[in-house]
Copies of this chain bind each other. A is one copy, B any other.
Amino acid sequence: MLPLQLQPQSHIPLYVQIRDQLKALVHNGALRPGDRIPASRELAANLGVHRTTVANAYAELESEGLIRGHVGRGTFIQDNGELKLTPAPPVLGNGGGVRWETLFADERGEESLSRLCQANTADVQISFAIAKPPSDTFPVEEFRASCNAVLKSEGARILQLGASDGYAPFKEELEETLRGEGILGKDDKVLVTAGGQQSIDLVCKAFLRPGDTVAMENPAYPGAIASFTGARVRLLGVPVHATTPIGGHAGLDLDILESVLLQNRVKLILVTPDFQNPTGTTLPVAARRRLLEIATRYQVPIIEDHIYARLRGGGGRIPSLKALDRHGVVIQVDSISKVLFPGLRVGWCVGPANVIERLRLVKQVTDLHTDQLAQAALAEFMRRGYLKKHLNKMRTAFARKLLVLEDALAKHMPAGVEWTRPGGGMCLWVTLPPGLDSSELLIHVRDRGVLFSPGRFFYFQHPAPNTLRLSYSSLDERQIVRGVMSLADTLKAEMRKRLRGAPRDARPALALTV
């Protein structure tokens, strides 16, 4: 996937943006002579622009000698003289150091999102941008007591080099919990990791080679997209239905998933059945059984992201894929970051013993093992019953915040705006009327001290620019209401501008995929 970021609202024509960004990728070394670039039809579909726009950009690049098409093989970056490295040994002038930029391996997709969210954070009063628990509810004293107790009783053991599969007392607590939830089967093992993001990184290393194919939800968690992109994997997107279609169900479209598996050699499926990030949708239990049946039939393992599952508002439970799995096709990744303390980096994977052993070897090469102080203190925190207590408190608090958010949206949002009803988790997904771009809305609403995540950042294919994600978990009820009011006011102003006949840009209408 080429890391192109188009600005449809810009005065610079789209084909010039594509041309110049491709040039930049060649000059900074992200694209090298001999690299194949996507066919114009394929790139156009990915960027959501007309094929002619891409064809124009390619024509200019070819006339400049930067790319060349080969009949039946594709289009490739040219090996022209300008790009060649000087032959070794080069003679350097005074002060000549290494040109590091030309040595970097890849552009990182995460970069732009991280820049956007970090910009002007001092002026941001209300941020719907990041899914994290609120600091003011942290049971810090209970944690300090737990930490103190374990350092007194087992300090030297905690601080010494440990086992790569996790600190034994924490693993025991965790295994007991997971067994009680029907997640840890008798042939399963657990690997402690440094959180959900690392679990995905380990899965990439254990299973994927460059060019392998992964099927996953589109839109999806940008951290997962970035992991797979970094592993040079081909991602195939399966749409997520934000609302229940006639005769279907919300969440991952299983008919399309099955077509994808039939038509491609897919190595893994990544899916978040509960409160999917970013859409907040949940896969019903019948669909979960069908998903397992499909995965087993095609022999394609499922990576189940279980990170939000314990945050169901009502407190009830839908059995996880791992709990329903009878054939050992699921690896479940989970973490304490969403329910407790994200500043401690502790997560885990559950799966068949041979898979966990392989992941353990990969973990060892990645960072030897997870920090033991955090694990030991969490074990004590769990033994004392603090985790259960806190989780119940958070469930209730988040459910109330979600109600406040849904009420505010219903009260203030203009007609034509739609949103999901997650029933738990940390995120809600908003769809604006077609033709509106949430990235533009963000620029305006940020001036009023409000931040959210534009939908564009969650898509790796066919972005729907008129979508956005609201994370409500770390805000209080007043902030939620005020934030929604600012958002609604700004949106109404934008819609009025359009009605008054402001010239529409030449951007093609985009089909919604959620």
A400 contacts B by Cβ under 8 Å: no
The reply to whether B343 and A161 form a contact with Cβ atoms under 8 Å apart is yes
Q: Does A24 contact B (CB under 8 A)?
A: no
| Measured CA separation A205–B366 after assembly (Å) | 11
Nearest residue (CB) in B for A212 is: B105
Q: Report the minimum CB–CB distance from A119 to chain B (whole Å).
A: 15
CB pair B161 A100 closer than 8 Å? no
Q: Do A301 and B103 have beta carbons less than 8 Å apart?
A: yes
Does the CB pair A299–B198 fall under 8 Å?
no
A358 CB contacts on chain B under 8 angstroms: 100, 104
From known contacts A140-B155, A298-B89, infer whether A344 and B372 are also in contact, taking CB-CB under 8 Å: yes
**Residues of B contacting A90 with CB < 8 Å?**
297-299
Q: Which parts of A53-91 form the interface with B (CB within 8 Å)?
A: 85, 88-91
Q: Is the CB of A100 within 8 A of B354?
A: yes
Q: Is the CB of B198 within 8 A of A366?
A: yes
- Interface flag for A111 (CB, 8 Å): yes
- Contact A95:B327 (CB < 8 A) given known A105-B206, A108-B361, A372-B343: yes
Of the candidates B96, B97, B197, B337, the one whose C-beta lies within 8 Å of that of A365 is: B197
What residue of chain B has the Cβ atom nearest to residue A133's Cβ? B160
Chain B, residue nearest A354 (CB): B100
Would A144 and B138 be within 8 Å (CB), given that A198-B366, A298-B89, A373-B374 are in contact?
no
Question: How extensive is the interface on chain A, given as a class?
Answer: 35 or more
Interface string of A126-164 (1 = CB under 8 A from B): 000010100110101101100110011001111111101
As for how many copies of this chain the complex holds, the number is: 2
- Chain B CB within 10 Å, residue with most, of A96, A159, A206, A343: A343
Nearest B residue to A148 via CB reads: B148
A394 at the interface (CB under 8 A from B): no
Closest B-chain residue to A95, C-beta based?
A: B327
For window 192-230 of A, CB contacts with B under 8 Å fall at: 194-195, 197-198, 201, 205-210, 223, 226-227, 230
Taking CB atoms, residues of chain B closer than 8 Å to A122 are none
> Does B156 contact A111, Cβ atoms closer than 8 Å?
no
Whether A12 is near chain B, meaning CB under 8 Å from some CB there, is no
Among A194, A195, A261, the one with the most B-chain Cβ atoms within 10 Å of its Cβ is: A194
Task: Report if A377 contacts B (CB, 8 A).
Answer: yes
Cα distance A476–B11 when bound, in Å? 72
Q: List 4 tightest A-B contacts by C-beta distance, closest first.
A: A140-B155, A97-B327, A159-B341, A161-B342
Neighbouring B residues of A194 by C-beta, 8 Å: 194, 345, 367, 371
Q: Given A132-B160, A155-B144, A261-B88, A105 and B207 touching (CB < 8 A)?
A: yes
Chain B residues with CB under 8 A of A105: 205-209
A344 → chain B closest CB, angstroms: 6
Cα-based distance from A341 to B327 in the complex (angstroms): 42
- Identify A151's interface contact among B147, B210, B230, B328, CB under 8 A: B147
A110 at the interface (CB under 8 A from B): yes
CA distance A136 to B148 in the complex (A): 19
Q: Taking the nearest CB of chain B, how far is it from the CB of A346, in angstroms? A: 8
Bound-complex Cα distance A300 to B298 (A): 46
Do the beta carbons of A345 and B370 come within 8 Å of each other?
yes
A240 touches B (CB below 8 Å): no
* Chain B contacts for A96, CB-based, 8 A: 296, 327
A367 touches which one: B95, B151, B198, B232 (CB < 8 A)? Answer: B198
- Chain B minimum-CB-distance residue to A268: B103
- Of the candidates B99, B366, B373, the one whose C-beta lies within 8 Å of that of A377 is B373
Contacts of A344 in B (CB 8 A): 159, 371-373
The minimal Cβ–Cβ distance linking A262 to chain B, given in whole angstroms, is 6
Residues of chain B within 8 A (CB-CB) of A300 are 98
> A341 to chain B: which residues have CB within 8 Å?
159-160
Given A90-B297, A98-B329, A354-B100, CB of A156 within 8 Å of CB of B144: no
- Judged by a CB distance under 8 angstroms, whether A505 is at the interface is no
Given A111-B361, A143-B155, A194-B194, 13 more contacts at CB 8 Å?
A89-B298, A90-B298, A92-B297, A97-B327, A97-B352, A98-B329, A100-B352, A103-B301, A135-B159, A141-B155, A159-B343, A197-B366, A230-B362
CA gap between A273 and B92 in the complex, in Å:
25
Q: Does A125 contact B (CB under 8 A)?
A: no
Tell me, in angstroms, the Cα distance from A103 to B300 when the chains sit together.
Answer: 9
A312 in the interface, Cβ–Cβ < 8 Å? no
Q: Is A267 an interface residue (CB 8 A)?
A: yes
A187 — nearest CB in chain B belongs to which residue? B97
Report how far A159 CA is from B265 CA in the complex, Å: 42
Are A301 and B365 in contact (CB-based, < 8 A)?
no
Residues on B with beta carbons closer than 8 Å to the beta carbon of A345: 194, 367-371
- State the CA gap A480–B295 with chains docked (Å): 55
Q: Is the CB of A361 within 8 A of B110?
A: yes
In the complex, A10 has a CB within 8 A of chain B: no
Interface centre among A97, A106, A138 (most CB of B within 10 A): A97
